[in-house]
Chain A
Amino acid sequence: MYAQLVETGVKKVKSIDEMNKDESEFQAKIDAEIKIEAKNWMPDAYRKTLIRQISQHAHSEIVGMLPEGNWLTRAPTLKRKLQLLAKIQDEAGHGLYLYSAMETLGADRDTEIEKLHSGKAKYSSIFNYPTLNWTDMGAIGWLVDGAAIVNQVVLQRTSYGPYSRAMVRICKEESFHQRQGYEILLTIMRHGTKAQKAMVQDSINRLWWPSLMMFGPTDDDSPNSKQSLAWKIKRKSNDELRQMFIDQTIPQLEFLGCTVPDPDLKWNEETGHYDFGNIDWDEFYAVLKGNGPCNQERLAKRKNAIDQGAWVREAAVAYANKHKIEAI
């Protein structure tokens, strides 16, 4: 998931009896699957939770461009370079769709971006891992975008209209991302040298567990999920989504002829799902707190981009003002 640990600020989900008239009418709409639109009344905590979740989601898309940007100038062919460029441009687009959806809630884009830069706002833990070789571009497209798709397909049914519509648009584009990633890996596994195939396995080894962490803490350690599910901001729990991802990914992994670094992974005939080993949650929380391998580098790059681009934005304002005056 691109938004992990989104606080709702709510300690206990209210029952219908405890709600006032506005609140119970609002909940009735949610229960009836009627989308909430920007001008509708909504509980303050719903609005704040959405701003947190959508901004976190948007920040993830924007920061998510950086690990891939690392390989743009070193893509093995012109075709791969163009594909990667198009994918990264999509990520920028996804960030912008989401920032727009967030603004409909009355949030200010610059303020929220400032929260990212000051470390107050989170973004997905996955983007704090380095991209060490070209095969990481394949593994990211396949695993990271694959995990994002599982989450985002469900979010198309989220209760807030503008967020839901942004998700529909994003999901249409994500499928290209995942397929191009898988094709990178498949090409190498079919035609690559022994050393190149070993790089594919190495990428999967490094990115497998962080990909599973994208879905956030286990349901038992996810105190905010209950309210987010009641408001239908979230539609499925972290563990449900993680299991869906694993179940659909393992057959693709086997087709590649690769393995995951989990000795406990095995098909469970009884449950109809894959069992898997324990996730290192200490690592997850450390990365989320800012202590992952690339947190500082990622934020420094984002701040730098904003600072270095300031003169361009100012010049555009000056240009527009000049032409306004001329028009008068």
Chain B
Amino acid sequence: MSEYPLYEVFVRSKHGLNHKHVGSVHAIDDAMAMENARELYTRRCEGVSIWVVPSKMITASALDDKEALFDPSQDKIYRHASFYELPDEVGHM
């Protein structure tokens, strides 16, 4: 099986929700990846739609970049609604 490429599997559990990563399968081509994903991850109405993506096609952020990528959001607290104080009289906004 190892010579079969790895695919990542994403399932949309209900209409209106995002596809979510659920795991991976080995398959020799896209069609087989779809069949394997169906058999393995949706035996009990777990979803309404499946995506299969060759794992090697995914570019992931590197762990070392964590600070560079995500820390700045911590400095920009004015991007959050809770930063702005409004008098109670204004009510819910």
Binding site for B on A (CB under 8 A): 39-40, 86, 89-90, 93, 96-97, 100, 103, 108-111, 165-166, 169, 173, 313, 316-317, 319-320, 323
Q: Which chain B residues border A166 with CB–CB below 8 Å?
A: 23
Bound-complex Cα distance A109 to B2 (A) = 6
Interface size classification for chain B? 20 to 34
- Are B28 and A96 in contact, CB atoms less than 8 angstroms apart? no
- Are B63 and A96 in contact, CB atoms less than 8 angstroms apart? no
- Are B28 and A40 in contact, CB atoms less than 8 angstroms apart? no
Nearest-neighbor residue (CB-CB) of B30 within chain A:
A320
Secondary structure dominating the interface of A = helix
Complex partner residue of B63 from A39, A316, A319, CB under 8 angstroms = A39
Beta-carbon contacts under 8 Å, B43-80 to A: 43-44, 60, 62-63
Nearest first, the 8 A-B pairs at minimum CB distance are: A320-B28, A110-B2, A320-B29, A316-B28, A100-B24, A109-B2, A108-B2, A109-B1
- Are A97 and B23 in contact, CB atoms less than 8 angstroms apart? yes
The 11 sampled A-B contact pairs (Cβ below 8 Å) are: A39-B60, A39-B62, A97-B40, A103-B6, A109-B1, A109-B2, A109-B26, A166-B23, A169-B22, A313-B1, A317-B28
Q: Which chain A residues border B40 with CB–CB below 8 Å?
A: 93, 96-97
Binding site for A on B (CB under 8 A): 1-4, 6, 22-26, 28-29, 32, 39-40, 43-44, 60, 62-63
Q: Which chain A residues border B6 with CB–CB below 8 Å?
A: 103
Q: Which chain A residues border B2 with CB–CB below 8 Å?
A: 108-111
Q: Which chain A residues border B4 with CB–CB below 8 Å?
A: 313, 316-317
Q: Which chain B residues border A165 with CB–CB below 8 Å?
A: 23
Complex partner residue of B43 from A90, A109, A313, CB under 8 angstroms = A90
Nearest-neighbor residue (CB-CB) of A316 within chain B:
B28
Bound-complex Cα distance A97 to B32 (A) = 17
Nearest-neighbor residue (CB-CB) of B6 within chain A:
A103
Q: Which chain A residues border B63 with CB–CB below 8 Å?
A: 39-40
Q: Which chain A residues border B43 with CB–CB below 8 Å?
A: 86, 89-90, 93
Q: Which chain B residues border A89 with CB–CB below 8 Å?
A: 39, 43
Complex partner residue of A96 from B25, B32, B44, B60, CB under 8 angstroms = B25
